Amino acid sequence: MRWYLGAIAILLVALVFQLGLLAYAMYVLLGLMLLSRFVARHWIENLSATRECNRLSAEIGDKLAVVVTVLNSGKLPVAWTLVEDSLPRQALVQRPPRLKVHGRRLLVGMLKRGGKKALLYQVEFQMRGYYQIGPVILETGDLFGLHRRYRVATEPHFVLVYPKLVPLEGYDLASRRPVGEIRLTHRLYEDPTRIAGVRLYQPGDPLNRVNWRATARTGTLHSKIYEPSTIAGATVLLSFHEQEYPKSNEPLRSELAVTTVASIANEVYLMGQQIGFATNGRDAADRIRQEGWVHDFRTRAAAQKNANMTDRSERLQPVSVPTRRGPEQLWRILESLARVELTDGLSFAQLIGETVSRLPRDATVIAVLPAVSAETAFALGSLKRRGYAVVAVLIMFNEFEFQDAAGRLLAQGIEARQVADEASLSALCGQHLMR
What residues form DSSP beta bridges with 269? none
The pLDDT value given to residue 307 = 60
Residue with the bigger pLDDT between 158 and 155: it is 158
Q: How confident is the model at residue 174 (pLDDT cuts 50, 70, 90)?
A: very low
Q: 121-130, 219-228, 237-246: lowest mean pLDDT where? A: 219-228
Domains 45-162 and 234-281+318-430 share a fold: no
Across 16-30, 129-143, 374-388, the highest mean pLDDT is recorded for 374-388
Write out pLDDT tens, residues 371-422: 999 999 999 999 999 989 899 999 999 999 999 999 999 999 998 999 999 9
Q: In this structure, which amino acid lies at residue 130?
A: Y
Q: What is the mean pLDDT of the chain?
A: 84
Map residue 349 onto helix, strand or coil.
Answer: helix
Q: Measured between alpha carbons, how far is 226 from 206 in angstroms, rounded to an integer? A: 14
The pLDDT value given to residue 421 = 93
The pLDDT value given to residue 292 = 53
Q: What is the percent of the chain with per-residue pLDDT over 70, rounded to a whole number?
A: 83
Residue 288 has pLDDT above 60, yes or no: yes
Across 37-41, 46-50, 66-70, 340-344, the highest mean pLDDT is recorded for 66-70
The pLDDT value given to residue 368 = 96
Q: Measured between alpha carbons, how far is 54 from 238 in angstroms, rounded to an integer? A: 32
Write out pLDDT tens, residues 296-329: 565 666 666 666 666 565 666 899 999 988 879 9
Map residue 196 onto helix, strand or coil.
Answer: strand
Residue 95 has pLDDT above 60, yes or no: yes
Q: Measured between alpha carbons, how far is 280 from 287 in angstroms, rounded to an integer? A: 16
**Chain mean position to CA 347:** 20
Nearest 5 degrees, angle CA 43-CA 44-CA 48? 105
Q: Measured between alpha carbons, how far is 292 from 305 in angstroms, rounded to an integer? A: 11
The domain 45-162: what is its CATH number? Answer: 2.60.40.10
Q: What is the mean pLDDT of residues 140-164?
A: 85
Q: 1-10, 105-114, 161-170, 215-224: lowest mean pLDDT where? A: 1-10
Instruction: Check: CB of residue 123 under 8 Å from CB of residue 66.
Output: yes
Residue with the bigger pLDDT between 258 and 189: it is 258
Q: Measured between alpha carbons, how far is 283 from 279 in angstroms, rounded to an integer? A: 10
The pLDDT value given to residue 407 = 94
The pLDDT value given to residue 173 = 34
Residue with the bigger pLDDT between 423 and 310: it is 423
Domain assignments of the chain as residue spans, ordered by start: 2-44, 45-162, 190-228, 234-281+318-430
Write out pLDDT tens, residues 179-220: 544 444 444 456 566 677 888 988 888 888 899 888 998 888
Q: Measured between alpha carbons, how far is 166 from 314 in angstroms, rounded to an integer? A: 33
Residue 338 has pLDDT above 70, yes or no: yes
Q: Measured between alpha carbons, how far is 407 from 260 in angstroms, rounded to an integer? A: 22
Q: Measured between alpha carbons, how far is 273 from 271 in angstroms, rounded to an integer? A: 6
The pLDDT value given to residue 185 = 44
Superfamily of domain 234-281+318-430: von Willebrand factor, type A domain (3.40.50.410)
Residue 39 has pLDDT above 80, yes or no: no
Rounding to the nearest 10 degrees, give the CA dihedral for residues 360, 366, 370, 372: 80
Q: How confident is the model at residue 172 (pLDDT cuts 50, 70, 90)?
A: very low
